[in-house]
Amino acid sequence: MIFGFYTLTILALFFSFLAIGSRSNFISFAWLLAVNFCVANVFLLFNNYLIFIFVVMFLVFLLSIIFIFFFSIVGVEFLPMNKINLKRAFLLIFVGLAFIVEYILFLLYNPKLRSVVTNKTVSKLVDDNKSFLLELSGDIFGYHSYLIILIFIFSIIAMIGVNYTLHIIEKQDKSIKGKEE
């Protein structure tokens, strides 16, 4: 738990440095999402219910992106539908989806939170909770460490993937502009 907290704290501070230091707007926005991930995971580590609010926040954000692209697909000239913009949109949606998957995992494997959602008592849910994944993971790692490992994997893959790909896209943009000039 302490290791997870320290890791997330250092990552959050480091990513926020990168967010304010990046020259490109899009890359600094992606780093901001990474900072959000880290802070949300701090709450997640300590079973805080604020994770719900963060999920709602990301859903609103995702919906706004999806609506913008829907309008552009149906013919409203809001954003030019070129290859780079499409890539950017899919990457941002991927970040949001990774976050939602985290949330679902958290909901599935946390009896306390499930009791809030389904109005069942915690003890009954723990009895019901004998799913194959829990049986598989519970004996080896223990219930919470399995969840935390999954969260780390999802977050790190999402953060590295998105930021690295955005970096490459920005490079391509610059090279295209250089050729045009």
Partner 1 sequence: MIGLIHFMVLSLGLFVIGVVGILINRGSLLSVLISINIATLGIIVSFCVFSSVHNNNIGYIATLLVLVTFIINLSVSFLFILFNSMQAENKLKEGD
In this complex, which beta carbon is closest to partner 1, that of residue 4 or of residue 137?
4
In this complex, which beta carbon is closest to partner 1, that of residue 15 or of residue 137?
15
Q: Which amino acid is at 179?
A: K
Phi, psi of 47 (to 5 degrees): 55, 40
Query: Is 36 within 8 Å of 98 (Cβ atoms)?
Result: no
Taking the C-alpha atoms of residue 29 and residue 26, their distance in angstroms, rounded to an integer, is: 5
Least separation in angstroms between residue 49's CB and partner 1 is 8
Least separation in angstroms between residue 1's CB and partner 1 is 7
Least separation in angstroms between residue 94's CB and partner 1 is 15
Rg (alpha carbons) of the chain, rounded to whole number: 19
Give residues in contact with partner 1 (CB under 8 A): 1-2, 5, 9, 12-13, 16-17, 19-20, 25-26, 28-29, 32, 35-36, 39, 42-43, 48, 50, 53-54, 57, 60-61, 64-65, 68, 78-80, 82, 85, 177, 180
Compute the Cα dihedral for 166, 167, 171, 172 and give only its sign: negative
